[in-house]
């Protein structure tokens, strides 16, 4: 899978743009800056934005190419981020703690999702928050109609029930499936069906 992403990120352009995801930006702005974890961060658009807002940012992805582009973007914005390459359990030890974890289009096979969510919960500080946005299973229809992006395998897409179950130990304050219009680089463009969640420990 990392070869796929290395190839996709191989162009000079930032394929999902350099501006932060709007749901992430809106909800991060409500919080007092602290420590932030960004899984599956790709080319760094959200990590770099958060760093410009005073957050201490840790990010990871499986792609070395993505890391290089993220660090280049950080350098251009004159901020620093801790960017690691690998999978969650290998690059984020269980003794680390974060005030916020943001999952922005961090898609995994359904068989891995519950363990992934469970691990993330253990990394939250008391009062820690989770910001989530990902494609819903209905996105398959939107891909055909609007070519708005996302995994083409339904097993990598989310249902509200799956998200609710994965974070059942938290207090979920917002959980909806919504139709939005994406304007994020070349790969996230047009009408899309997403699930958005906010939760706290």
Its CATH class, for the domain covering 2-200, is alpha beta
- Give the integer Cα–Cα distance in Å for 9 and 183: 18
If you average pLDDT over residues 12-37, what whole number do you get? 97
Collapsing DSSP to helix, strand or coil, 51 comes out as helix
Q: CA quadruple 25, 129, 37, 176: dihedral positive or negative? A: negative
Q: Are the C-beta atoms of residues 39 and 8 closer than 8 Å to each other? A: no
Q: What local confidence, expressed as pLDDT, does residue 3 receive?
A: 84
Q: Any idea what the Cα angle at residue 187 is, between residues 167 and 89, rounded to 5°? A: 35
Collect all residues with Cβ–Cβ distance below 8 Å to 131 and sequence separation of at least 6: 23, 24, 27, 28, 100, 101, 102, 103, 104, 197, 198
Q: How far from each other are the two terminal CA atoms of the chain, in whole angstroms?
A: 32
- Give the integer Cα–Cα distance in Å for 79 and 200: 27
| Closest residue by Cα to residue 149 from 109, 103, 186 | 186
**Cross-strand pairs, 38:** 59
Condensed to tens digits (0 to 9), the pLDDT of residues 33-92 reads 999 999 999 999 999 999 999 999 999 999 999 999 999 999 999 999 999 999 999 999
Q: Are the C-beta atoms of residues 175 and 102 closer than 8 Å to each other? A: no
Condensed to tens digits (0 to 9), the pLDDT of residues 98-145 reads 999 999 999 999 999 999 999 999 999 999 999 999 999 999 999 999
Is pLDDT of 1 > 70? no
Condensed to tens digits (0 to 9), the pLDDT of residues 158-183 reads 999 999 999 999 999 999 999 999 99
Collapsing DSSP to helix, strand or coil, 26 comes out as helix
Runs of H (alpha helix) within 1-44: 2-8, 22-28
């Amino acid at each position: 899978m990392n070869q796929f992403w290395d190839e996709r990120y191989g162009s000079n352009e930032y394929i999902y743009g350099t501006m932060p995801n709007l749901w992430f930006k809106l909800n991060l702005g409500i919080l007092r800056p602290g420590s932030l974890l960004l899984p599956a961060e790709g080319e760094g658009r959200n990590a770099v934005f958060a760093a410009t807002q005073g957050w201490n940012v840790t990010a990871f992805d499986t792609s070395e190419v993505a890391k290089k582009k993220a660090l280049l973007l950080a350098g251009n914005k004159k901020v620093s981020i801790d960017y690691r390459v690998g999978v969650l359990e290998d690059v984020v030890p269980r003794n680390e703690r974060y005030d916020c974890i943001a999952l922005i289009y961090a898609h995994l096979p359904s068989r891995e999702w519950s363990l992934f969510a469970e691990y993330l919960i253990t990394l939250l500080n008391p009062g820690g928050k989770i910001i989530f946005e990902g494609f819903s299973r209905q996105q398959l229809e939107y891909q055909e109609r609007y070519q708005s992006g996302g995994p083409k395998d339904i097993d990598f897409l989310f249902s509200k029930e799956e998200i609710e179950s994965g974070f059942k130990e938290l207090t979920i304050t917002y959980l909806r499936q919504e139709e939005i219009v994406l304007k994020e680089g070349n790969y996230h463009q047009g009408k899309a069906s997403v699930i958005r969640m906010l939760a706290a420990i």
